Structure 1
Amino acid sequence: MMRTLGFVLLLLLASGLAFALGWNQRDQRVPPPPPPEAADSPALDSLDARAARLRGALERLAPPSPEEENSLRRPRTPNYRVHLGWADSLGVQPLASEAELGRHLASGALVPLVDTEFYVVRTLEHSKPFTTPALRESLAEAGRRFQAELARSGLPPYRFSVSSALRTADLQADLGRRNRNATSGTSSHEYGASVDIVTFRYAYASSPQDSITVDVADPHLDRANRLLVDTYTEAARSRWDHLYGALARALGSMQRDERLVVLLEAEQPVFHVTHRIPGDLDRSDPDSD
């Protein structure tokens, strides 16, 4: 009897060991599910949908109409003397030395002009990245108006590009030697109250709000977000004329509100903008040559 019971227990133990070994081998035989292929990636599907919406939104965003452009060109927009008058009134006096620049920065009469959520400052070859506080605030307001139209059109918050700011007399003279279209004599840039904004360059900066998110694990998610930045950047290059339309409308509204004087230059692809204050029609008369 005891021998039979021992045999049964031994048999049960052997069966349990065999079952456990077989289960472990089963786990080893069944590989984990493979990662989804690109064709099955929710993140890349979302990227394709975003790209299609971006193209459609840019196409619907109107380039500037002839009326919108002409209102910012001579003879309908204030002439350059008006820019000089406002710059002389609201800016600093032209700089004779770097020491003067330091004093203006210390007093707060001039402030650094750096990249913000509304605009980027390109590498400046013939000017310095400084401006008056009031002009810097007006640029931010122009950026808010620009991005507001983009948001209404379902577009991300592109930023416009500043290409020129404060110039010393030496920098202005050097520019004149290199560029025959540069202003001869005193420039409104020398007062720190004017900047140039490029018509065809727009920058995209990624943000968490714009990122692609998916509800499942997707190994292509990081790649999709990198490609999304590339997609937005390339769209700004290929459809810049539509973004230019929104910027022209934003700057036009700033001019109508007497916050800026705006000149869409004929020889250079830039808006020349100068800070102003409301009122004082004598200084803002476009026919005051």
Structure 2
Amino acid sequence: MNYYVGLDIGGTSIKYGLVDETGKILEKDRVKTSISGEEILNNIEMIVSQFKSLKPITAVGVSAPGIVQQDGFMTTGGAIRDFYGINLKKEIEKRTGISTTIENDANAAAFAEQWQGNAVGFHNYYCMVIGTGIGGGLIINDQIYRGGHGMAGELGMMSVMNVSTDTHLEYNSLNFTGATVGGLLRYYNNHSDSPAIDDARVIYQLAAQQDKLALASLDFFYTALAKGIINLMVALDPEIVLIGGGISANSQFMAGLQDKIADLKYRNQDIRNLNFAEVKPAKLRNDAGIIGAVYRAIQVEA
């Protein structure tokens, strides 16, 4: 039996686990993500060392934010500024002495669903991760599609709404309209005279009480997401679209999104009668980064 260390580096915490070759997580925990890249690397070294004392480790798989090149070079590093422009693979291998694979976090989630989740049996699909912003992993013919510059699948940058017509055109993007933080909470707080809220569940609670701003915020949020997903469907025709991120566990969210997609599709005569992919939650949720990173490491080692 081969054993692997899976690391999922997020903006808030680093989730990590000891995983066997079947994808079973034997042990897992998390540690707070430091703002210092050096401290993150030191924590990774300690985590790997801890697991090395328990089992012989074949490889390390890492899920990381940002645009990641196949050789482990970080073109960007999301919220971790110290990761911009470094080769994370080489840095971790230098500290651990173990072969390491680095994968973009959304791609890792897509790999995890292919191995253990709701994409089993599908060959062409998209895994969208909704959180502070929006990321995504695009699988075509069973292979991750990276594009010419390593940033394919980043639908968060897609322009879907007409919010801003000045120099700040990013405000029209899915990141700023269809994400949980950048879209839903941002819209609500920008239009509210009350203290800012930082939990999307509050908006759903207010909407259940027929609060007009909460209902308008959800409609704006669903519209942006639905437009992005419909654009994806007509461009690439995936077999299934999986939604990850914490909000995907909310059945009200999924129902609202599916209703909005159906509504926009019906109102567009060109696509009204086309067969579209099913949109459903991803299966693995918080474990997706760990499992997907390990699956990628297994593929590279094979």
Answer whether TM exceeds 0.5 for this pair. Answer: no
- Higher gyration radius (CA): 1
- Greater helix share, structure number: 1
TM-score by length of 1: 0.23
